[in-house]
Amino acid sequence: MKKTPNYRKGSLKLSLLSLAGMLIILLCLLGGPLSATTISKTFITTGVAGTESIKDIVLKVRDSALPDDQKLLQYRKVMPSATSKKDKLLILESIGKLRTFLSLITVANYLDTPELSVQAAQAVMAIALPSNDYEGFYGTLVREILTKAEGKLKGKQDKEKIRAYLVAMPKGEGYVSMFNGKDLTGWQGLVEDPIKRAKMSPEELAKKQAEANLKVPENWFAKDGTIVFNGKFYDNLCSIKQYGDIEMVVDWRITKKGDSGIYLRGSPQVQIWDVTRVESGAQVGSGGLYNNKVNMSNPLKVADNPIDEWNTFRIKMVGEKVTVYLNGVLVVDNVTLENYWDRTIPIFPKGAIELQAHGTNLAFRDIYVKELNNENTVSKAEKAEGYKPLFNGENLEGWVGNTSDYRAENGEIVLHIDSANPSHGNLYTSGEYNDFICRFEFQLTHGANNGLGIRAPLKGDAAYVGMELQILDNEDPMYAKLQPYQYHGSVYGIIPAKRGFLKPVGEWNYEEVIAKGTHITITLNGTVILDGDIKEAVKNGTPDHKEHPGLFNEKGHIGFLGHGSVVKFRNLRVKELK
């Protein structure tokens, strides 16, 4: 078995070498556009640092023109060698001058160290709070850090500044940790590729996922606050959660001849490799979109630190476009990431973040992601038209009914079938609606059966005491003998909808419902499949010959009507009509 590198610096000699490496990186970067290969060679041949003090090193870094990301890496590297309280306070004060999210995380780690807690709290305040030319940071994690920092501060004025910002802080989840520092919770093994996975049945995918998860401990593990790959095999580590538009920060470190990358939306990749591998073209540096064929694939600059040194990626992806900063240097500027799995179509709208394994030892730490432009928010154009979101993408605030089987997951409302409830009940908006336009997306599983309840009360069978607009996997053989008014898009039991416009099971469908008086119009994936008047449809009695006392309700709740199968909903918004 190949021995996993020991990344801990437990001896004085290693600490001094660490200082030497930091000094060499600093001097080389300050000296001009030297390549990472030159830096690496210089580091290897230099040996132990001279007599410079911790203070001298910190001040050189502080006064340099290095980007904030690079400065933070150097401060973090020198901190374990700082033995005096005075030096440690100087480092925390210096980190407090950096306006990066990982700087905030770094100083927050010292809030529980008694002799350093006050300085750490002051640094937290300096980094997190906005100023005239700086927006500051927001989010649940930032709120927790600021609340803790306030308890460590002694000055009344500083405490009041934090309290005021906590009240005014912009809403939103902000950056969320993808790694708890202890184990691989939130991560799973790799199953094939996105296109192959989409073709699998739920049962087949679940089986293959279980098999892939069993292999993970052979290759990946958590150690000393890092995710480590031991250099065996080529199985990526994948986030369980699917991501669309994001900002991501992550530190990474490779060994000699290292090769790795960050997959975005399950697709390769933001490249990571040892720049000395000239035989593979690695001299261009890390951070490029390696698998691009039409759009730029190489980074703009070489910004890598030497092997066995930590590097920082800041990655932003919006739509198809990707921007990458490596150690604070812009290396990819708003470039399209091509779909490696099928170059005839754009990159997928959502997918896993993957840490690539390529047969060499490597490590990752401090992995944070911030989701952008939540699909459950309303676009500017729709907002101007009067649309409002029905679902915040994070929880079921604003919904009532069965909030146990229906859950908010990955920006979606998902009906689970893992309870003993055979029908799984209904989930309703807490508010009532009269005339409206409702737009949403839904994803069916094989044989799925649900419904959109409108103008419904909270009690009784919504298909009759309100109105049900059918949501159904029309093509499943079990539904071959239904009545026309029971298929997808129909006003259940009353008006039949056109068939043949659903997307294949597993793909997302887009639907718009217009309810104006007794007139109902439903558009599915761009095609009007129902356009009828309830009053006209029942003038000679209800087509299903059943009582529908709620057909003419003037108002009621909008809801999802469960029938014992998994269905997902997202991007829900509504416009009330006057």
What is the mean predicted confidence (pLDDT) over 298-316? 97
364-401 pLDDT per residue, tens: 999 999 988 666 677 778 888 999 999 988 788 899 99
Q: What is the identity of the amino acid at 431?
A: G
* pLDDT of res. 378: 78
501: domain CATH number is 2.60.120.560
What is the mean predicted confidence (pLDDT) over 555-573? 93
Please say which residue of 316, 340, 371 terminates a domain.
371
Shared domain check, 417 and 445: yes
Start-to-end CA distance of the chain, whole Å, equals 72
- Residue 222 forms part of a structural domain: yes
Shared domain check, 358 and 385: no
- Residue 104 forms part of a structural domain: yes
Please say which residue of 333, 352, 371 terminates a domain.
371
3-state DSSP helix/strand/coil percent for the chain, to nearest 5?
30, 30, 45
Shared domain check, 462 and 445: yes
Shared domain check, 416 and 327: no
Taking the model in full, what pTM does it have? 0.64
Query: What does the alpha-carbon distance between residue 34 and residue 41 come to, in Å, rounded to a whole number?
Result: 11
What is the mean predicted confidence (pLDDT) over 26-35? 41
Shared domain check, 482 and 428: yes
CA distances from 356 to 223, 266, 286, 322 (A): 18, 10, 14, 18
Please say which residue of 314, 344, 371 terminates a domain.
371
- Tell me the percentage of the chain whose pLDDT exceeds 70: 89
| Helix locations, 298-428, DSSP H | 380-385
- Tell me the percentage of the chain whose pLDDT exceeds 90: 76
pLDDT: which is higher, 172 or 142? 142
Shared domain check, 404 and 320: no
- Residue 4 forms part of a structural domain: no
31-65 pLDDT per residue, tens: 433 333 333 333 222 323 445 799 999 999 999 99
Shared domain check, 192 and 331: yes
Shared domain check, 388 and 274: no
- Residue 66 forms part of a structural domain: yes
Shared domain check, 422 and 351: no
Query: What does the alpha-carbon distance between residue 341 and residue 343 come to, in Å, rounded to a whole number?
Result: 6
Let me know if 94 is exposed, middle or buried by CB neighbors in 10 A (0-12, 13-18, 19+): buried
Residue 382's CB: how many other CB atoms inside 10 A?
16
- Residue 2 forms part of a structural domain: no
Shared domain check, 454 and 333: no
Structure tokens at 232: 């065996």
- Residue 5 forms part of a structural domain: no
* Average pLDDT along the chain: 88
Shared domain check, 386 and 327: no
Instruction: Return the sign of the alpha-carbon dihedral for residues 428, 387, 411, 523.
Output: positive
According to the per-residue pLDDT averaged within each range, which of 12-26, 160-174, 442-456 is highest?
442-456
Residue 499's CB: how many other CB atoms inside 10 A?
15
φ, ψ at 537 (rounded to 5°): -65, -25
259-304 pLDDT per residue, tens: 999 999 999 999 999 999 999 999 999 999 999 999 999 999 999 9
- Bridge partners for 187 per DSSP: 239
Shared domain check, 392 and 351: no
- Bridge partners for 330 per DSSP: 325
Residue 389's CB: how many other CB atoms inside 10 A?
18
Nearest to 438 by CA among 382, 373, 495, 505: 382
Residue 89's domain comprises 53-171
514-554 pLDDT per residue, tens: 999 999 999 999 999 999 999 999 999 999 999 999 999 99
- Residue 14 forms part of a structural domain: no
Residue where the block lists tokens 């306006």:
99
Nearest to 127 by CA among 141, 225, 114: 141
- Number of domains the chain is built from: 3
